[in-house]
Amino acid sequence: MAARKPPFDFAKHLAERLGPLGAKAPFLLRITEWQGAPVPVLVVKERQYRDHDEAAPGPDGQRCRARPVLIERGNLAGDPLHRCLPLLRRIVEGVADPVGVPLELSRYLTNEGLRSRGNLPLDEEAGAKLALIFRLQDRIKDLDRVELIAHRVRQFTREEAAYWLSRTLSFGPIANRWALSGLRIMLGGHADDKGVQEMLERLRLAA
């Protein structure tokens, strides 16, 4: 009789496999808890670097090296999280380490995995896609539209995801707000639009 495979050790995997990679990853997906919010909360953070001109001078008067800063790009919890969970798993399943070995991040986007608390390293493609989904679903009450947006963002290339995310972040508060509003309609239609269900069913069959 074959020996039973030991259960996956999430804590050990987080500490030993993912922790060192998280220190340099362009994006992180944090599994956490917020007071007053459904448990768990998923938070996407992007790693950015301060310009050398903005860095404070060191003791010798020279500019210090740019320091990494983690900036929150969006969050997801409650019913929208559970509706989008299968799509989120598909997005992260291709994330690998520098030599191409998959990181098995999709394990964490299951009922068991979501009991963990920690940071998952994401590459640019997965990070940009999750950040877009998290930002676009905010303020949308119709879960069909939320799921539709997630399906369509998942189909983006890495370049498309990075471009559209930048349009919602880099052009000032007014232009960023307009970009979010326009993308919500472009990817998820209008509220009460009968075409939302038709397109969603088509994408579910193709997924």
Q: For the chain, what is the largest distance between any 2 Cα atoms, rounded to a whole number of angstroms?
A: 69
**Strand ranges of the sheet holding 118-122, from the earlier edge strand across to the other edge:** 68-77, 41-49, 27-32, 118-122
**pLDDT tens for each residue of 109-151:** 999 999 999 999 999 999 999 999 999 999 999 999 999 999 9
| CA distances for 188 relative to 116, 142, 205, angstroms | 31, 10, 17
Buried/exposed 79-94: b ≥16 CB within 10 Å, e otherwise: ebbebbbebbbbbbbe
pLDDT for 207 equals: 81
pLDDT above 60 for 44? yes
Phi, psi for residue 47 in degrees, rounded to 5 = -90, 120
- Mean pLDDT rounded to a whole number for the chain: 92
Sign of CA dihedral 30, 186, 158, 53: negative
Q: Which sequence spans correspond to the domains of the chain?
A: 10-52+65-206
Cα–Cα distance between 52 and 107 in angstroms, integer? 39
pTM of the model: 0.90
